[in-house]
Structure 1
């Protein structure tokens, strides 16, 4: 299986950061121009698009041969990803509508968006922990990089492209790593996991991983952003810029922690993991206006992806189960009715009288499915 490892570049001289930033600007301006050409001419296949724009991209944006090829491929991949996401329904209803409208316009790339590199224009020296990288001002050699010990170990298995990215004035390389994937064992039952907003994950063992901390963090950042926007001063804008992405990073960290706990529990007890398949839930659910923000910021897909790849790395089988009626069906007698769900946390069966935590009842059904 393939995973991504991030390391931080440490440019030594003053001009090296400027050269890297200029390279990203030039490549992304070229990508936007290629995107406009592809959209206007309907050329979304790599070979046809490359024949149409290759020489002009090189001459107009001062790119070498390989960077020009990587720019064209980035544009083709962006359109393919956009089309696949809309077709698969992996986006919220508002996001689907926005991107469907965007299909009538060419994709525009941010000037600091990540740029892919192949081994011809990016060379890794793992012994000295340096890289040699192509830029629009010439090749930069011997740039040091740092990362966690685990990341540096995994770089020995690096293969394929690496992406140069810039965040808040710092430069990073994202490398693709091939990791051996053990065969999934025969599970001795399944650990049912109910996903939610109030409780991010509830297991069939009765363990509840609350979403209160994430909700408080989001609410705090929402209030701070609102307050800073009303001030409209230069210092407020600088503060907003520093806060950018912090909420998303916090949510990602919490999902990593929860996914690791779920996989560890399943591995320790020789069980598989049963997850709800929530694809397209934002299109199916009708939320009140006050609930829309929480619904559309719910990172259930990210958590599911984290659980799946962490489980694959240790051989834990994962199955995705249709979540239909799991919040309404009694885990004791299988009686299904919408009034069984008394509140967000309380389930009371109208048939057998069983009373239990609503999310825990749903996990019992996932465990048996």
Structure 2
């Protein structure tokens, strides 16, 4: 299983200037390669190399750096084509589709640049790296990370690392190949996880992660952004930049805590996890204008991704199930009725009289569906006919 580890670089002033100039040079070169690729109809990487490699070398890029710039550009066009085929940019002929198709891909001056082991060397004991730049090889560039991240780098680092610049700070994002734990093929039960906005996650084992604190934090950030944007002074813009991504970092931290709690409980009890498949929910639902901010800031996909990779590391089975009618179906008798959902928090079955918290009821329905999906998807254990 591939995971990434983010390492913070702490270069000296001259080293930081060289790293910044390198990123701007390679991304300027990538923009030129992108224009050539667009002009020639996005050819394959080998064809694109024939048109651009000599010019990149003339611009002062090393051999490996030139190869990475070409590959990075070609991969960007491949990703664009995949998004178009998947319908992620709207229907053919739509404004967004035409905008993506009608001009070359551009790269930000501080966009990520891949490095392989020929361009980047790690000294774990000294906590330094040696890295290629357009000004020559920089040696003894210090980095900082947690003990856990350092241990992961030592034992599992494999492949490329990306150099990025964020708000004047440089990071290396290294790929690590982490072995997965043996999968529990016979889970004792399934823990259904109902995702929501009022409650971030409600599990059928009794765990509930309330969303009150996170929603308050989002509202505070939104109100502060509005005030600073309305003020418009230099100090207000400086504070806006300083606080950028604060909400995203806080949300990611909360999702990490919630997902770790659920996976740890499932691992301890030998259970699997049943997660609702919410892909496309923002396109399906229709809400009032006042509710749209909450819907579009809802980070259900990130929480699902965290649950998935943590479950794989722990050997916990995880299945996605159809969430249709789980909020209207009684987890005791199976009766489905829109009127069963009295309000956001209350479920009352019109058939058997079962009364429960609405999210708890939905999580038990998801757990039952997870067990059904797991049983249907397993290989047959029936011995072959002699």
TM-score by length of 2: 0.90
Contact 2:18 2:133 in 1 (8 A): yes
Name the structure 2 match of 1:5: 5
Tell whether 2:68 aligns with 1:45: no
Aligned length: 365
Residues 283, 86 of structure 1: alpha-carbon distance in 2 compared, 3 angstrom cutoff? farther
Deviation at 1:212, TM superposition (A): 1.3
Return the match for 1:63 from 61, 64, 86: 61
Residues 333, 103 of structure 1: alpha-carbon distance in 2 compared, 3 angstrom cutoff? farther
Tell whether 2:294 aligns with 1:328: no
Contact 2:276 2:321 in 1 (8 A): yes
Secondary structure, aligned partner of 1:305: helix
Secondary structure, aligned partner of 2:255: helix
Report the Cα distance in structure 1 between the residues aligned to 2:87 and 2:196, rounded to whole angstroms: 19
Report the Cα distance in structure 1 between the residues aligned to 2:247 and 2:98, rounded to whole angstroms: 27
Report the Cα distance in structure 2 between the residues aligned to 1:85 and 1:199, rounded to whole angstroms: 32
Contact 2:117 2:160 in 1 (8 A): yes
Name the structure 1 match of 2:149: 151
Report the Cα distance in structure 1 between the residues aligned to 2:88 and 2:363, rounded to whole angstroms: 23
Name the structure 2 match of 1:236: 236
Deviation at 1:40, TM superposition (A): 3.1
Name the structure 2 match of 1:141: 139
Deviation at 1:88, TM superposition (A): 4.8
Name the structure 2 match of 1:121: 119
Deviation at 1:99, TM superposition (A): 6.2
TM-score by length of 1: 0.93
Secondary structure, aligned partner of 2:3: strand
Secondary structure, aligned partner of 2:192: strand
Report the Cα distance in structure 2 between the residues aligned to 1:193 and 1:145, rounded to whole angstroms: 39
Tell whether 2:368 aligns with 1:368: yes
Residues 104, 159 of structure 1: alpha-carbon distance in 2 compared, 3 angstrom cutoff? same
Deviation at 1:339, TM superposition (A): 2.3
Name the structure 1 match of 2:104: 106
Secondary structure, aligned partner of 1:351: coil
Name the structure 2 match of 1:205: 205
Name the structure 2 match of 1:18: 17
Name the structure 2 match of 1:354: 354
Contact 2:29 2:69 in 1 (8 A): yes
Report the Cα distance in structure 2 between the residues aligned to 1:9 and 1:99, rounded to whole angstroms: 38
Report the Cα distance in structure 2 between the residues aligned to 1:158 and 1:272, rounded to whole angstroms: 29
Residues 152, 330 of structure 1: alpha-carbon distance in 2 compared, 3 angstrom cutoff? same
Contact 1:91 1:280 in 2 (8 A): no
Contact 2:42 2:77 in 1 (8 A): no
Report the Cα distance in structure 2 between the residues aligned to 1:141 and 1:6, rounded to whole angstroms: 20
Contact 1:23 1:135 in 2 (8 A): yes
Deviation at 1:39, TM superposition (A): 2.5
> Which moves more between the two structures, 215-224 or 338-347?
338-347
Deviation at 1:359, TM superposition (A): 1.0
Q: Could you list the runs of 5+ residues in structure 2 that have no partner in the other structure?
A: 370-386
Residues 98, 294 of structure 1: alpha-carbon distance in 2 compared, 3 angstrom cutoff? farther
Name the structure 2 match of 1:193: 193
Deviation at 1:126, TM superposition (A): 1.8
Q: CA RMSD in A?
A: 2.0
Report the Cα distance in structure 1 between the residues aligned to 2:220 and 2:90, rounded to whole angstroms: 24
Report the Cα distance in structure 2 between the residues aligned to 1:188 and 1:89, rounded to whole angstroms: 39
Secondary structure, aligned partner of 1:182: coil
Report the Cα distance in structure 2 between the residues aligned to 1:200 and 1:25, rounded to whole angstroms: 40
> Which moves more between the two structures, 84-93 or 206-215?
84-93
Deviation at 1:134, TM superposition (A): 0.7
Report the Cα distance in structure 2 between the residues aligned to 1:104 and 1:49, rounded to whole angstroms: 19
Report the Cα distance in structure 2 between the residues aligned to 1:256 and 1:100, rounded to whole angstroms: 37
Deviating above 6 A after TM superposition, structure 1's stretches of 4 or more consecutive aligned residues are 89-93
Contact 1:160 1:176 in 2 (8 A): yes
Deviation at 1:92, TM superposition (A): 10
> Which moves more between the two structures, 186-195 or 329-338?
329-338
CA deviations on 1:113-134 (whole Å, 9 max, x unpaired) are: 1111011111112232211101
CA deviations on 1:311-356 (whole Å, 9 max, x unpaired) are: 1111111111111111111111111122222221111222222221
- In the TM superposition, 1:279-318 aligns within 5 A as 279-318=279-318
